[in-house]
Amino acid sequence: MAKYQVVFASSFERDLAKLDNGVQKEIMKWIGKHMVDVDFPTSPGKTLKGDLRDYIRFRAGDYRIVSIVNDNIFVINNIHVGHRKGVYK
C-alpha cells in the first residue's frame, strides 16, 4: 500500500509560528510519529461534523491539528493547528 506524505499549508505554518517553541517541537514530533509514512492516517484522528465535515482533527496533547486527507493522491494536508479551545473558529 502507498504511504501518505504530509504537506503543510501556509495557514498551518502561521499558526505553528504563533505557538511556544516547546509546543512547536512537541507537535512536529507528533506529526512525525503519527502522520509520516503511514498506511492509514485517519486512524488516530476524528472526522469533524457540520460545516467542517471534510476535515479530520488529530489530537496532540491540548492542541489540535486540523487536516484534509486526500486518499486519491495519498496526501495529508495540514490546514490549522492551535489550542483545543480556539482551533475550530
pLDDT tens across 15-29, in order?
999 999 999 999 999
Long-range contacts of 66-72 (CB under 8 A, 24+ apart): 69/4, 69/41, 69/42, 69/45
**Domains of the chain (ranges, CATH numbers):** 5-83 (3.30.2310.20)
pLDDT per residue over 43-73, tens digit each? 788 999 999 888 999 998 899 999 998 887 7
Strands (E) located in 17-86: 45-47, 56-60, 63-70, 75-83
Q: In this predicted structure, what is the pLDDT of residue 75?
A: 83
**CB of 68 within 8 A of CB of 79?**
yes
Helix or strand run (H / E) with residue 13: helix 10-17
Q: In this predicted structure, what is the pLDDT of residue 12?
A: 92
**Predicted confidence band of residue 3 (pLDDT cuts 50, 70, 90):** confident
Report how far residue 82's alpha carbon sits from residue 5's, in angstroms, rounded to the nearest whole number.
21
**CB of 81 within 8 A of CB of 27?**
yes
Mean of pLDDT values over 28-45? 84
Q: In this predicted structure, what is the pLDDT of residue 1?
A: 61
Number of C-beta neighbours around residue 71 at 10 A: 11
Q: In this predicted structure, what is the pLDDT of residue 4?
A: 82
